[in-house]
Amino acid sequence: MDNEQTTTIPVAPPELMPPIITPEPKKETGFVLNPEGINKAGRPKKNLSMVELLKQELGKVDPNLKIKYKRIIAKQLVIQASNGNTKALREVFDRVDGRPKQSVDLTTNGQTVIKEELGKLRELINECRPNTTTT
């Protein structure tokens, strides 16, 4: 270690040194909600549909009974149906089993349309159409 040479770096006098610039403290960045006050009214709020409003209300809890309103209504519907209320009974069956399928009957003046009559109608329609064949 005795043979090590030490070198000194010459330093300029302070008046010749460039000024030390300290960076400004960083401002908080991130999302700023409408900084310039542009569009103060904002996007209009969407009106909820009746179904959405009902779902919200049915999902709330009754403060006295401590159960949801939809459960209270379901219980009342079952009680009404079991007491003989036919409208409530029909509603229960429609909700549980689904509504019965309705059949559609094509009739004219109370009589069923048959294939022969449909064939005659097709012939009449074809006769009324202009002839589009070329020779």
pLDDT in tens, 104-132: 766 666 666 677 778 888 888 888 887 76
The CA angle 11-13-15, to the nearest 5 degrees, is: 140
**What are the pLDDT digits (tens) for 19-62?**
777 777 777 666 666 666 666 666 767 788 899 999 999 999 99
Does residue 80 sit within a domain?
A: yes
Does residue 23 sit within a domain?
A: no
Task: For residue 1, give both structure tokens.
Answer: 């270690």
Q: Is the pTM of this model over 0.95?
A: no
Q: What is the extent of the structural domain holding 74?
A: 57-99
Does residue 74 sit within a domain?
A: yes
Does residue 106 sit within a domain?
A: no
pLDDT of residue 15: 77
- Residue linked to tokens 């294939």: 115
**What are the pLDDT digits (tens) for 62-116?**
999 999 999 999 999 999 999 999 999 999 988 888 887 877 766 666 666 677 7
pLDDT of residue 76: 94
pLDDT of residue 33: 66
- State the average pLDDT for the chain: 79
d(CA 84, CA 25): 78
Report the domain count for the chain: 1
d(CA 106, CA 117): 13
d(CA 67, CA 109): 55
Does residue 68 sit within a domain?
A: yes
